[in-house]
Amino acid sequence: MRNFRFNFIRRFPLSSGTVPLATIQMRFARWLRAPCSPAIASQYWQHLFPAIGQELVPCADLLPTAADPIEDAYSYQQRVIEMAEERKRRVAAWTIIAANSSALRNYTRPQTVIGPVLDSHMTMLRDERPLSFQPHSIVQRLLAVELALAVWPGASRATLVVAPALVLWGSRFPLCAPHLPGYVADSGGVLRVAVLNRTTEASLQDLVRHGCVLTAGGEPVATATCATPFGSLGTATETFSNLVAKCHPSLPQHCQSLRRIEGASGSGGTDRLPSTDVVGLVDTTQQGGDEGASALGIPLIVALDGRHIGKPGSYEGNFGHLGTIRVNVAASPLHQPAGKRSLD
């Protein structure tokens, strides 16, 4: 037993100073190749919903390493979804980020990434009310604000129902996820997704030509079109369906959420779209949204690669006739007591 302890400590040298017992337990669990154990999953859950003054195990000791396969990262996503269901929460949306986007270019062998968005991290906004967001200073670092579109199935295969959206990307690592498995396991570091509760049904051909502008403090800082970076929103939805079927085979309802069910009737008005077109309804009434939006189901948030380095201030996404969405980002409060080191 003494030799075992010596070998373990030699393989996982501890940093100077006091190391929390939870950190040692997490490193031991990783050594046993149990990345999705209940203990590790519950520790990561605390990063998703941090409390002031709570001592957290660093994400580097919880999430996959650069040497781990990407399948391990999606296993983390699966475990988060299961924990959400156990805690009476749900997946409110999915995100998709293209391999050629600026967010992934610096990673080795980048590939298109999908990730779940929990209901607590998504807000439906009315036209006149912006989202006010204040990131946690220790484990939620705002990195970028990005233009996006929330996408639902249309009344036909040639149409989609869309709504303007802004995504606040961050990281629960010290600076950013150092490798793609960690990025995927953390679902891209989604801090908040804001969706304008105003839907429009349009043809795929019209959406390809549609552009949008992101402003910060009234000044334009980024532009994008619905054709970037996937080529079209139709390609994005098809890619998502294929990826979620491969990475989350136990969640067929989400794979079908963007495929129109044959035989369902619908019309051009989004308020009259039948709820059978999608599986898994989203209740937006508790988030200030209209009841009509909940009938559309779980949306796909397509990141358009129109992003700006995240700083405190007011942001506005202007999507032309689709609408305008606003987010106010406040500076992070200094929760960390003086003299204590950051654990993340």
Average pLDDT over residues 101-122: 92
Average pLDDT over residues 128-157: 84
Same domain, yes or no, for 24 and 91? no
Same domain, yes or no, for 317 and 173? yes
339 within domain boundaries: no
Same domain, yes or no, for 152 and 275? yes
Give how many domains the chain has, as a whole number.
2
* pLDDT tens-digit series, residues 13-26: 444 455 555 555 55
- 127 and 316 Cβ atoms separated by less than 8 Å: no
Same domain, yes or no, for 54 and 183? no
201 within domain boundaries: yes
Q: Which domain holds residue 19?
A: 1-62
Q: What is the CA radius of gyration of the chain?
A: 21
44 within domain boundaries: yes
Confidence of residue 36 (pLDDT cuts 50, 70, 90): low
Same domain, yes or no, for 41 and 136? no
Q: Which residue carries 């606003």 as its tokens?
A: 326
Confidence of residue 181 (pLDDT cuts 50, 70, 90): very high
- 191 and 170 Cβ atoms separated by less than 8 Å: yes
Measuring CA to CA, which residue among 312, 295, 343, 331 is closest to residue 43?
Answer: 343
Q: Is the pLDDT of residue 82 over 70?
A: yes
Same domain, yes or no, for 86 and 229? yes
- 301 and 117 Cβ atoms separated by less than 8 Å: yes
Same domain, yes or no, for 271 and 182? yes
Confidence of residue 123 (pLDDT cuts 50, 70, 90): very high
Same domain, yes or no, for 49 and 113? no
Same domain, yes or no, for 149 and 40? no
∠ CA 43-166-46, nearest 5°, is 10
Q: What percent of the chain clears pLDDT 70, i.e. is strictly above it?
A: 71
Same domain, yes or no, for 112 and 246? yes
